Amino acid sequence: MNGPDETSSPEGPDSGHLRGRRGLRRAEDTAPGQRSPSNSGGWFGWRRSAAREASGPPEPHPAPRGESGSGLREVTAPNDAVPLEDPQSPPIARWTFGDLRRAARRTPHTMAGPEASGSAEPFGPGRDGPSDRPASAPLRGTPDRNAGPLPDGAHPWEGSPGKGPGRGTTPLWGTPAAGPMTRGSGEDEGPSRAPSDPPRGRPRFAPAPPPSGPPTGFVPPRGPWPAVPPPHPPGPPPVTPMPGGHVPQGHLPPPAPAGPVRFLPPTGPGLPPPHPPGTPVPHPAARPAPEPDVTTGTHRLHWATIPFQALVFVLVFLAVPGVVLVEFGWGPVLMLSLTVAFGAAAYALAAWWNVTFGLRDDHLVVHTGVFRRLSREIPLSRLQAVDVVRPLLMQVMGLAELRVELAGGDSSEIRLRYLGRGTAERLRAVLLAHAAGLSGRTPEAPEWPFYKLPFGLLLGALAFRLPVLGAFVLLLLLLVTGLAFGELGVLGGAVPLLLGLMRGFLGPLLRYTDFYASLSPDGLRLRYGVFQARMQTVPPGRVQAVRIVEPLLWRSLGVVRVEANVAGYVGERQMDSSTLLPVVPRRLAFALVNEVFPGTDLAGAVLHPAKPGGLPGAALGVDDRVFVTRSGLLCRVIDVVPHARTQVLRMTVGPVERLRGTATVEADTPPGPVRARATGRDVAEARRVIDGVARRAHTARSTTAGPERWATRGDLFG
């Protein structure tokens, strides 16, 4: 744990904050009467984790530790905190695959279990799952896991412990006011809070419109960031203490109609927001320049698009033909440039005029085209992901591009460029609300920090990989020899190496600088990049499969990379956007998977190694929720496909495999980096796996409806 540890010292306090916050949320859960109007806007927790709730009051002592070093820490802390200060929570971060393998050996090779006769409950992991647990217990988090500072544990999804496993009973969002309020206090309230350490990530994307009336005075002076007002270490049993005194709530406008709040279901499309229109929706008022209300009517792109496009035209003209024309003197060039500028401006004006977008019911209607009109109507229930992209220039100009991903292939993406930044973010929230089945006027969902990637860790991890190190060493050798012998021929080798390094090291480094991931009811939100700031949002249930990549050297750092298959990300954008977490401590990665696929316990999954003699390192595990494969000896890859998302199951036996009596089992998902292939399984076992997974997948599909309009149903993630 070299890399992460450098920041580890001050985090104790931070995790305290997280806990404190969780306590706060839970307390609020118990007192639904107090709720901010914005909360009643209908966002409820996008998942209710039955398992976790059932596991009882997780944290014995919310340990409100004093103060933290800087606000940033609060998220990074838990990662690093694990080994150091939470000895009694060994969980995910601790186990290694060696443990796994050992445990798998301890348990009989279940997958190839004795009863090969294809019983009704054919395959091992499922069958043995429960009974194996003891054996694998050391691997799993056990209750302590929740007690640990796992950030996800600190997340508000944890309902009040009192509510028991009835996951449906507590709104996760909807009650607690902490989210938006604190966030507001954290960032929007800039002046009042000490701007000591303005989290680098924040300014680029304001996550939410300014909250109505956040408690300015209360704000933690060192301004940790989004939430977590440290002052309220709402005592240990966070459940009971109705934090009347705890600040954010005190400021909440007493939400009269807040009702019992489960979730306030969506009003029909176009209907007024679920909450009384008077109280909520603070943003329009709060914003200095009222932005257009994107929920109604048709809109155009930002006007600055016109001069921008014209400028680009002129620059291109000057760069290409203009250079040639200089021979004729500057006069003609100037004249021609002016002509081009006017023409381009006229065209840009026409194009700008012709691009309109607007919401109609549950559809986003986009008209484009000057000469050839194109009109697209996108049912938002089919939305796969929404990204806001802001290249450097656009950041300067305050513009943003909005990309709406649909599941229809490479050309199915809607790109609106460019919008005003505020408009883009508002539209993003509206689209996601519609996708969830809520009214477009629902305030932007709150979010809870999940992970912040320290730059040092990113830099170190990216550099600390065999290919990068190897290429670097080779490059140095080449250069040294080239210099020593005055030989220019080394450039032939050095240039490709340099390009490779740029692609494998510099590219990700610049791309993921300032990486920040948060969880919100409308999905997983990722913000990253400096030169091209991006905000990605993947709604819940849209992640089709996940893989955890663990290069050889990263294992000593305890970090991994998490990638996902999302149906909208195909072709070029698959490379672009499918990485969910570029560098993350292993246990957080597992925690994320558990969040993305509710009900899974990845750390508890028992992997069964393949028959010896095949590819080394291959293993397969199946439990009630997921199909997990592991592959690779040096670079370990764990692919996770939840049964509910499995598209096709395949068993393949090639000529060599036939000799060995093995088969390959594969769970296909929409295209992406994840390919869950389990090689080297015994044929009989493979067939049992196929049958068992097919059955579970059927159960999973019939108990969980699709992700459309998820917020209006209680059954998602059932």
Partner 1 sequence: MVEISASQPPSEATGGSTGMPAGPDVPSPMETAFAPPRGTTWNRVDPVLTWYRRLLILAATIPSAAVVGLCAGLWAGWGWSVPLVALVLAAGALGWVTAPRVHASWGYAEGPTDFHLTHGVLVRQLIVIPYGRMQVVDVTANLLEQALGIATVRVRTAATTTDARVPGLRLEAAAQLRDRLAARSETFSTGL
Residues that bind partner 1 (CB under 8 A): 118, 382, 384, 407, 544, 567, 646-655, 658, 661, 663, 668-671, 675, 683-684, 686-687, 690-691, 694-695, 697-698, 701, 705-708
Residue 397 or 684: the one with the smaller Cβ distance to partner 1 is 684
Instruction: Give residue 87's identity as a one-letter amino acid code.
Output: P
Smallest separation, CB 667 to partner 1 (Å): 9
The contacts of residue 411 (CB under 8 Å, 6+ apart) are none
Cα angle, residue 562 at apex, residues 560 and 563 outer, rounded to 5°: 145
For partner 1, the closer of residues 462 and 644 by Cβ is 644
- Residue (503 or 658) nearer to partner 1, CB: 658
Least distance to partner 1 from the beta carbon of 641, Å? 10
Residues shown for the chain:
718
Instruction: Tell me the two tokens of residue 332.
Output: 């003609």
User: Is 192:216 a contact under the CB 8 Å cutoff?
Assistant: yes
Q: How far is the CB of 704 from partner 1 (least distance, A)?
A: 9
How near is the Cβ of 270 to partner 1 at its closest, in Å? 23
> Taking the complex as a whole, how short is the minimal distance between the CB of residue 671 and partner 1, in angstroms?
5
What is the closest distance, in whole angstroms, from the C-beta atom of residue 643 to partner 1 in the complex?
10
DSSP string, 35-67: --TTGGGS---S---HHHHHT----S-----S-
- 345 or 651: whose CB is closer to partner 1? 651
Kind of pairing between the strands at 356-360 and 298-300: antiparallel
66 alpha carbon, distance to own chain's centre: 30
Min dist. Cβ of residue 691 to partner 1 (A): 8
Q: Which helix (H) or strand (E) holds 364?
A: strand 363-368
Q: What is the torsional sign of CA 79, 85, 90, 96? A: positive
N-terminal to C-terminal alpha carbon distance within the chain: 37
- Residue 375 or 652: the one with the smaller Cβ distance to partner 1 is 652
Using DSSP's 3-state secondary structure scheme, residue 391 falls into strand
Q: Closest approach of Cβ 672 to partner 1, in Å?
A: 10
Whichever of 311 and 649 has its CB closer to partner 1, that residue is: 649
Which secondary-structure segment (H or E) carries 386?
strand 385-391
Query: Which CB sits closer to partner 1, 307 or 671?
Result: 671
- CB-nearer residue toward partner 1: 314 or 686: 686
Closest CB to partner 1 among 278 and 613? 613
With CA atoms as reference, report the closest residue to 541 among 496, 614, 613, 599.
Answer: 599
* 448-452 β-sheet, strand order: 414-420, 399-405, 385-391, 532-538, 523-528, 516-520, 448-452
Q: Minimum distance from CB of 450 to partner 1 (Å)?
A: 25
Cβ neighbours for 77, distance < 8 A, ≥ 6 positions apart:
7, 8, 10, 11, 12, 14, 15, 18, 68, 149
Strands in 636-642's sheet, in edge-to-edge order, are: 579-585, 559-566, 543-550, 636-642, 626-631, 619-622, 608-609
Contact between 187 and 226 (Cβ < 8 Å): yes
Check if the beta carbon of residue 400 is closer than 8 Å to that of residue 413: no
Q: Which is nearer to partner 1, 204 or 643 (CB)?
A: 643
Q: Least distance in Å: CB of 611 to partner 1?
A: 13
